[in-house]
Structure 1
Amino acid sequence: MTSPVEISSDALEYIAAVPEPFRELFDRLHALVLETLPDARVVLSYKMPAYVTDGGRVSLSVGKAGVSIATTVAAPVAAFHARHPELKAGKVTVLFPPDRELPADDVRALVLAAVGR
């Protein structure tokens, strides 16, 4: 049995304050990351929740156009963007607008690759 994920109080505050219309999308991405990285600690880093493991981290943030997932390495984002060119991506971020289908399996692959798994 896995122990509950450790989430810092400031990360919980950020998560609780996510506004509509991004709440549902954020919650789905948050759940996917936790499901994919059950050993992660969730802390607030650079003013956003960071899901930290021994191998690396990913972060979620809410902006004007949707919810972004950020990594510390570029290769997983480039691979994800090659499969989903319709989504905006930067060097280490992917933006998910609230009106698009979430490619859950590819998000899981992105998260795993970002932490070296």
Structure 2
Amino acid sequence: MDAETQTYIDGIAPEHRPLFDRLHGLILRAYPEATVVLSYGMPTYRVGDRRLHVGVWRHGVSVYGWDADAGADLLSRHPGLLSGKGTLKLRSQEAADVTDDELTALVRASLGPGRPAN
């Protein structure tokens, strides 16, 4: 991870850091070879040609570049996560309702080999 990305992560507000760390850990457990860089002003996980962007905002964590099919499955159980086209908004206080298995499935579908490059 480059210094710029580490600075972003080090600057995450304490109330959102556990949620970011949770998602960061799930991504790296699923894809330990992922490269983490800053893109569009947020940490971006790259596996081959695929990307998953994870930004921290006032509400918590937003995920961009996720697989729509896997997202549809997740959203059927948690419809409140969708925030505009292509944005999953995980509010820190509601994230406990989303399981690690659900998030890992989204990560695998988004960064996995069957997904078209973004």
TM superposition score normalised by structure 1: 0.84
Task: Quote the Cα distance in structure 2 between the aligned partners of 1:34 and 1:26.
Answer: 12
Aligned equivalents of 1:76, 1:57: Cα separation in 2: 15
Shift in CA distance, 96/72, structure 1 to aligned 2, threshold 3 Å: closer
Distance 2:78 2:44 in 1: 23
Identity %: 37
1:113 CA displacement: 0.7
Q: Is the 8 A contact 1:69 1:93 kept in 2?
A: yes
Give me the whole-angstrom Cα distance separating, in 2, the residues matched to 1:76 and 1:17: 30
Query: Which residue does 2:105 correspond to in 1?
Result: 109
* Pick aligned residue for 2:76 from 82, 93, 101: 82
Structure with the larger helix share: 2
CA distance in 1, matches of 2:90, 2:74: 12
Return the alpha-carbon distance in structure 2 between the equivalents of residues 45 and 24 of structure 1. Answer: 21
Shift of 1:85: 1.5
| CA 1:91–1:79: 2 relative to 1, 3 Å | farther
1:35 match:
29
Partner of 1:96: helix, strand, or coil?
A: strand
Residues 1:68 and 2:62 aligned together: yes
Unaligned runs of 5+ in 2: 114-118
Q: Check 1:22–1:10 CA distance in 2 against 1; reply closer, same or farther (3 A cut).
A: same
Runs of 4+ in structure 1 deviating by more than 4 angstroms, as ranges, are: none
Question: Which position in structure 2 is the counterpart of 1:20?
Answer: 14
**How much has 1:73 moved relative to structure 2?**
4.5
Q: What is aligned with 1:11?
A: 5
For residue 72 of structure 1, report the CA deviation from its aligned partner: 5.5
Specify which structure has the bigger relative contact order, considering alpha-carbon pairs within 8 angstroms and separated by 6 or more residues: 2
In the other structure, the counterpart of 1:99 is 93
Q: Which residue type is aligned with residue 92 of structure 1? A: G
| Equivalent residue letter for 2:99 | P
Q: Return the TM-score normalized by structure 2.
A: 0.83
